[in-house]
Amino acid sequence: MSHGQGSALLVDLGERSYEIHIGAGLLARAGDLISAAAGSRGFVVTHPIIARLHGETLARGLGAFRAETLLVPAGERQKSIRRAAALWEELLDRGADRRSVIVAFGGGVIGDLAGFVAATFMRGVSYVQIPTTLLAQVDSSVGGKVGVNHPKAKNLIGAFHQPRLVVADVTVLSTLRARDYREGLAEAVKTAAIADADLFDWVERNAAALSRRDTGAMAHLVRRCCEIKAEVVRADECESGPRAILNFGHTVGHALESLTDYRSLRHGEAVAMGMVAAARIARLLGLLSTECEERLARLLLSLRLPTGIPGTPTEAILGTMRSDKKAIAGIPRFVLPRAIGEMELGVEVPEATLKEGLKEVGASE
């Protein structure tokens, strides 16, 4: 793979198929890539920090692609109907129409929000993902799940709306704060844990290179994670069954994010905690060996990710999980590991086991 030019990966969804371009220095070619895939006039949705760090590079790279910028404050709390409504209003004020292209230039929050706005504005306009965080590059920018949060649960209001293109420039990851970079590694570990024991081995062996943000290591990780996600999405675009495998660690993780009002925990940190909880529950049910559980925790620790949920009340976690959109009749469904690379979907866990598992990884009474 040429890191300078990047290489394209196809997400094969028939007429909704699109390419993911992965490599270093891709912002410089963004205009050509977008014009070929989506159109000639757009609106870049981003936040002030990304605009300050990378806005000029993108503006130069857009070239003949005419784009105006819509700024959104940073933070998970911006993923709201209120912020989406403000963007609808701004698009109308600036003369956006059904041929306009929305460019999501940021992390998962910007991608989910801008994608949701694209899915709903004038019954759906084209959008392009230019993810600027590791978490967005390995996970949230691919697959077309877009949405906003509701006070009762994360991502409760949303749609499936596939992008026309994803441009993952690994160069931009060098400007991420350490904590923001690490949370992306949690989603990468999740991807390896659900589907690819070889990738899990590779991450274990290359943890140091990934921690120091080696460009080649990052590009390989992003590409392999995108390949896995593209395959899962191709098999089950609208999450009717097998795509639920991507929710490993998310049942408890989303509950923890919701309980902390999306303020103190990063999404990837919550997923790391959720994976550890799910692995413990799987071991208590006799699905998973102690060795595999310890291996997962050891890898997360080596990447400086949290491996426990200290102090959060068990009952509060259970209550929040019951209103999760993946729950059926108030009963949360779990994705639980049988081994590294092998998952069991839709597991109903007895409440006593749930409570025991949560307490064993640090939840309080």
Q: 214 in a domain, yes or no?
A: no
The answer to whether residues 148 and 266 belong to one domain is no
Average pLDDT, the chain: 92
Q: 229 in a domain, yes or no?
A: no
Q: Which candidate in 190, 223, 254, 266 is catalytic?
A: 254
Residue 102 exposure: Cα atoms within 13 Å on the Cβ side: 37
**pLDDT band, residue 146 (cuts 50/70/90):** very high
The answer to whether residues 129 and 247 belong to one domain is no
pLDDT attached to residue 38: 81
With contact defined as beta carbons under 8 Å apart, do 160 and 173 qualify? no
Taking each helix axis as running N to C, give the angle between helix 197-205 and helix 290-302, from 0 to 180 degrees, rounded to the nearest 10.
40
The answer to whether residues 137 and 244 belong to one domain is no
Assess whether 145 carries a catalytic annotation. yes
Assess whether 149 carries a catalytic annotation. no
Q: 252 in a domain, yes or no?
A: yes
Q: Answer whether residue 285 shows pLDDT above 90.
A: yes
Average pLDDT over residues 104-124: 96
Q: Which candidate in 79, 229, 280, 333 is catalytic?
A: 229
Question: 128-145: per-residue pLDDT in tens?
Answer: 999 999 999 999 999 999
Of the candidates 129, 158, 176, which is a domain's last residue?
176
Q: Which of 27, 25, 351, 18 is nearest to 219 (CA)?
A: 25
Contacts of 361 (CB under 8 A, 6+ apart): 273, 276, 277, 280, 307, 308, 309
Residue 239 amino acid letter? E
The 3-state secondary structure of the chain reads: CCCCCCEEEEECCHHHCEEEEEECCHHHHHHHHHHHHCCCEEEEEECHHHHHHHHHHHHHHHCCCEEEEEECCCCHHHCCHHHHHHHHHHHHHCCCCCCCEEEEEECHHHHHHHHHHHHHHHHCCEEEEEECCHHHHHHHCCCCEEEEEECCEEEEEEEECCCCEEEEEHHHHHHCCHHHHHHHHHHHHHHHHHHCHHHHHHHHHCHHHHHCCCHHHHHHHHHHHHHHHHHHHHHCCCCCCHHHHHHCCHHHHHHHHHHCCCCCCCHHHHHHHHHHHHHHHHHHCCCCCHHHHHHHHHHHHHCCCCCCCCCCEHHHHHHHHHCCCCCECCECEEEEEEECCEEEEEEECCHHHHHHHHHHCCCEC
Please state the domain count of the chain.
2
Q: Which candidate in 145, 164, 182, 190 is catalytic?
A: 145
Nearest-angstrom CA–CA distance, 226 and 277 = 25
Q: Answer whether residue 2 shows pLDDT above 80.
A: no
pLDDT attached to residue 335: 95
Assess whether 79 carries a catalytic annotation. no
Q: Which two tokens stand for residue 197?
A: 């024991």
241, burial (CB in 10 Å: exposed 0-12, middle 13-18, buried 19+): exposed
pLDDT attached to residue 325: 67
Assess whether 254 carries a catalytic annotation. yes
The answer to whether residues 137 and 20 belong to one domain is yes
The answer to whether residues 13 and 128 belong to one domain is yes
The answer to whether residues 128 and 250 belong to one domain is no
Of the candidates 176, 202, 227, which is a domain's last residue?
176
Q: Which candidate in 19, 76, 183, 187 is catalytic?
A: 187
**pLDDT band, residue 3 (cuts 50/70/90):** very low
Task: Provide, rounded to the nearest whole percent, the portion of the chain with pLDDT above 90.
Answer: 82
Question: 60-82: per-residue pLDDT in tens?
Answer: 999 989 999 999 999 888 999 99
The answer to whether residues 110 and 21 belong to one domain is yes
The answer to whether residues 141 and 26 belong to one domain is yes
Q: Which candidate in 68, 204, 239, 360 is catalytic?
A: 239
The answer to whether residues 275 and 162 belong to one domain is no
Q: Which candidate in 220, 243, 266, 283 is catalytic?
A: 243
Assess whether 150 carries a catalytic annotation. no
Of the candidates 139, 156, 176, which is a domain's last residue?
176
Domain extent at residue 355: 239-360
CATH number at residue 331: 1.20.1090.10
Average pLDDT over residues 105-126: 96
Assess whether 161 carries a catalytic annotation. no
Q: Answer whether residue 196 shows pLDDT above 90.
A: yes
Q: Which candidate in 47, 250, 283, 333 is catalytic?
A: 250
Q: Answer whether residue 168 shows pLDDT above 50.
A: yes
Assess whether 229 carries a catalytic annotation. yes
Q: 212 in a domain, yes or no?
A: no
pLDDT attached to residue 101: 95
Assess whether 250 carries a catalytic annotation. yes
Average pLDDT over residues 224-250: 91
Q: Which of 130, 134, 129 is nearest to 145 (CA)?
A: 129
Nearest-angstrom CA–CA distance, 244 and 357 = 21
Longest Cα–Cα distance in the chain: 61
Q: pTM here?
A: 0.91
The answer to whether residues 270 and 133 belong to one domain is no
With contact defined as beta carbons under 8 Å apart, do 63 and 32 qualify? yes
Q: Which candidate in 82, 123, 212, 263 is catalytic?
A: 123
**pLDDT band, residue 263 (cuts 50/70/90):** confident
Assess whether 267 carries a catalytic annotation. yes
Q: Which candidate in 267, 280, 283, 333 is catalytic?
A: 267
Q: 185 in a domain, yes or no?
A: no
Nearest-angstrom CA–CA distance, 198 and 29 = 33
CATH number at residue 164: 3.40.50.1970
With contact defined as beta carbons under 8 Å apart, do 155 and 130 qualify? no
Q: Which candidate in 247, 266, 280, 333 is catalytic?
A: 247
